[in-house]
Amino acid sequence: MGVMRMGYAHVRVTDLAEAKAHYANTMGLYETHAEDGRVYYKGWDEWDHHSVVLEEGGVGVVKFGWKVRYSSDLDEIERRAQAFGVTVERMSRGENPEIGDGIRFTTPSEHVFEVYHEATLIGTEVGTHNPDAFPRHLVGVGVPGLDHALITAEDVKGMERFLTEVFDFYATERVQTSLEDDADYIGTWMTSNNQIHQLAVIGGPQGKLHHFAFKLGDWSEVGHAADLFSMDDVPIDVGPTRHGITRGQTVYFFDPSGNRNEVFAGGYLAYPDRPVHVWTPEQLGKGIFYHARELNDRFTTVLT
């Protein structure tokens, strides 16, 4: 049962034309739909109708969509969210284009989550019959799909409990004030499956977005993406480098509106029987940026 993946990240951008140039021409997302000042995108290896939604006006995240394996998961998650004390509303087919019925609620961290079971499968260029390994003519970075997001919350430990109890997520890595049982949580990296993280939460203001990330295949693709960001004047925040946390290989950068994006490769397969990696403050720099081993101010303060 349960959440299969983050199905979409719906974010605000200050200028839709600039944003489209970034997400289509540099990132190589495929535009699948546009209406009412919103543009819908998917990566080349995604089957569902969209995984990224841009909406003009401001910055930051509007909501995240989560796709569940069974329609019965919707009821179960509704029940659990209500048991946690969260108000849940029903979402109807079509409130999001090509997305089925579902539920919607605001998390304790003040982020809007939508949970759904159905999305129109619009397929990929390579298809399913003797498919090529990737489309022959990718654009720019050519990301295959959405990977994960990092959000901020005032109560990280509470959000870990929420995601555990409502979504059956488990932590793969965590930053704690110490190794003691009563330690505070500075950050938590969580998943429901083998993906090293689907959603991470770090301490900060309610309702904010630190970044959302696209998958890449390996370190060579990460380096190549960084080269293209220079050519396209995309501001790089940090990288290419490796994370200690998740071991992922990464570039952080900003879209033209100032929303932080990431390209992310590597990491290891998560399993629920694997002990949580715990990072403590004296090595937090190394946990976040394995090579530089120190945080920069921008990384910790720029949120949208």
Cis before 240? omega within 30: yes
By the rule CB under 8 A, 188 interacts with a copy of itself: no
Rg, the chain, Cα only: 18
Strand partners, 262: 213, 252
> Please, which residue, 153 or 270, has the CB nearer to a copy of itself?
270
CB of 267 to a copy of itself, least distance (A): 10
Active site residue 30: no
Residues near 85 by beta carbon (within 8 Å), at least 6 away in sequence: none
Interface stretch with a copy of itself, choices 73-81, 94-102, 150-158, 228-236 (CB under 8 A)? 228-236
Question: Containing H/E element for 273?
Answer: none
Q: Which two tokens mark 124?
A: 């990929």
According to the binding rule CB under 8 A, does residue 280 interact with a copy of itself?
yes
Exposed, middle or buried by CB within 10 Å (0-12, 13-18, 19+), for 35? exposed
Backbone angles phi, psi at 202, to 5 degrees: -125, 160
Smallest distance, a copy of itself to C-beta of residue 169, A: 14
Could you say whether residue 102 binds a copy of itself (CB under 8 A)?
no
Q: Is 236 in the site for a copy of itself (CB under 8 A)?
A: yes
| CA proximity to 154, closest of 196, 218, 111 | 111
Q: H or E element: which one contains 225?
A: helix 219-231
185 is known as an active-site residue = no
Active site residue 148: yes
Told to check if 298 binds a copy of itself by CB under 8 A, we report: no
**Binding residues for a copy of itself restricted to 108-167, rule: CB under 8 A:** 121, 123, 128-134, 136, 144
CB atoms within 10 A of CB 140: 19
Q: How far apart are CA 66 and CA 33, in angstroms?
A: 19
Out of 20, 42, 67, 197, the only residue in the binding site for a copy of itself (CB under 8 A) is 67
272 near a copy of itself (CB under 8 A): yes
Q: Based on the shown chain and the rule CB under 8 A, indicate whether residue 28 belongs to the binding site for a copy of itself.
A: no
Per CB under 8 A, does 71 bind a copy of itself? no
CB neighbours of residue 128 within 10 Å: 8
> Pick from 18, 89, 165, 227: which binds a copy of itself (CB under 8 A)?
227
Catalytic residue among 40, 41, 170, 252: 252
Q: What distance in Å separates the CA atoms of residue 26 and residue 7, rounded to the nearest whole number?
A: 21
The residues with which 84 forms a beta bridge, in sequence order, are none
Q: Which of 148, 210, 224, 268 is an active site residue? A: 148
Query: What are the residues binding a copy of itself (CB under 8 A)?
Result: 1, 4-5, 45, 47-48, 67, 69, 121, 123, 128-134, 136, 144, 179, 193-195, 215, 217-220, 223, 226-232, 236, 239-242, 244, 247, 249, 251, 265-266, 268-269, 271-280, 282-283, 286-287, 290-293
Catalytic positions are 148, 197, 211, 243, 252, 262
